[in-house]
Amino acid sequence: MARIALDVMGGDHAPEAPVAGALLALQELDPSHVLQLVGRSAVVRAVLDRQLVDASPLVRQAAERLVLIDADEVVEMTDKPSVAVRGKPNSSMAVGLRLQAEGASDAFVSAGNTGAQMAASTFILRLHPGLSRPAIGTVLPTATQPVVVLDAGANVDCAAAELVQFARLGHVYARDILGRANPAVGLLSIGEEAEKGNAAVKEAHQQLIGAGLNFIGNVEGRDIPAGRCDRGPVDVVVCDGFTGNVLLKLYEGVAPMLFGLLAAAGVPKEQLKQALGVLDYAKYGGAPLLGVKGVSIICHGKSSPEAIKNGVLVGLRAVESRMSHHIGEQLGA
């Protein structure tokens, strides 16, 4: 049995999308699990009632299992990260995370302000020993199996030791969340030889050789869309948060460009949508914030109900696999 707190006030389409996502999740979750909707209860109640008007009897019955938890403040998308920690102590974010810190919840899921969620998660859940900041792992669709890329934006200036920590975090992520038995960890660089890369990457390469992971050496930009390098499949790609953020946004931007070119050339849009469906981020749900003592799932601000539902399922998987516990073990290794 897991208790998952969902931030109903977070995201570009809140509160409608999170509420709709919760209803979708209920239909897939075993009834033993509890879904906690955190936000302004009056607002949440109203949205819920509206969405239930046309719902099936089964969904209405399931909705009775939802637990509403009142939080009268809201962290806006434009608020500074510190606001979530100090400025708005009764925000849905702070309340949802405190619930977990106090042992009344097992996971927190939000499509709200990412910087604020990171700050609040770090402050309220705290970090495993040895970490100075949490990392974001993002799952990217590839020609073969999805690949975890981290860090995806939280840590911009990274020393070699931090890159090695990302490798450890990614290893646990790929094993616990994606179910890879012995994740192949690659270090992003500009050539496969150990002496290629910037100073931090070259040093990290040496440290990773003895880190007890399935380190497959350097991988290059082209190996990410392929999902594999010359030495075989890749499960985890390690990079600093600056490079990670740039490449994720680039990756997101290429599909629409090609979509436009192909549509202009007369390829039917339906055929394009179907073929490129594998690239839809909504399928991959949220990204666990890695390194906090607990579970905090970051969803895309633009999350649809489907994406929110998948974020909740990722949260459940993180709880059931004991991901945070394994991260503590891996960092102490």
Residues that bind a copy of itself (CB under 8 A): 142-143, 153, 156-157, 188-190, 197-199, 201, 220-226, 239-243, 245-258, 260-262, 264-267, 271-272, 274-276, 278-279
CB of 222 to a copy of itself, least distance (A): 3
Amino acid at 243: T
Angle at 104 between CA 103 and CA 106, to 5 degrees: 75
Considering the complex, state which of residue 158 and residue 319 has its C-beta at the smaller distance from a copy of itself: 158
CB of 304 to a copy of itself, least distance (A): 19
Q: Which residues pair with 139 in a beta bridge?
A: 148
CA gap 84, 116 in Å, rounded: 5
> Percent helix, strand and coil across the chain, each rounded to 5?
45, 15, 35
CB of 182 to a copy of itself, least distance (A): 25
CB of 101 to a copy of itself, least distance (A): 29
Considering the complex, state which of residue 148 and residue 314 has its C-beta at the smaller distance from a copy of itself: 148
Check: CB of residue 189 under 8 Å from CB of residue 220: yes
**Alpha-carbon distance values, 209 to 54, 84, 190, 236, 245 (Å):** 57, 39, 18, 15, 25
CB of 187 to a copy of itself, least distance (A): 12
**Alpha-carbon distance values, 221 to 98, 188, 190, 263, 281 (Å):** 39, 7, 8, 27, 20
CB of 207 to a copy of itself, least distance (A): 18
CA gap 40, 19 in Å, rounded: 12
CB of 201 to a copy of itself, least distance (A): 8
In a 13 Å sphere around the CA of 222, the CA atoms on its Cβ side amount to 5
Length of the chain: 333
In a 13 Å sphere around the CA of 11, the CA atoms on its Cβ side amount to 30
Look up tokens 């660089």; give the residue: 189
Considering the complex, state which of residue 135 and residue 248 has its C-beta at the smaller distance from a copy of itself: 248
Token reading at 101 = 């810190």
Considering the complex, state which of residue 176 and residue 240 has its C-beta at the smaller distance from a copy of itself: 240
| β 135-136/287-290 pair status | antiparallel
Amino acid at 315: G
CA gap 29, 129 in Å, rounded: 33
CB of 156 to a copy of itself, least distance (A): 4
Look up tokens 């981020």; give the residue: 281
Considering the complex, state which of residue 111 and residue 187 has its C-beta at the smaller distance from a copy of itself: 187
Considering the complex, state which of residue 109 and residue 154 has its C-beta at the smaller distance from a copy of itself: 154
Considering the complex, state which of residue 140 and residue 314 has its C-beta at the smaller distance from a copy of itself: 140
Considering the complex, state which of residue 229 and residue 319 has its C-beta at the smaller distance from a copy of itself: 229
Cα dihedral across residues 99, 103, 108, 112: positive or negative: positive
Considering the complex, state which of residue 143 and residue 209 has its C-beta at the smaller distance from a copy of itself: 143
CB of 287 to a copy of itself, least distance (A): 16
> Which one, of 85, 78, 74, lies nearest residue 14 by Cα?
74
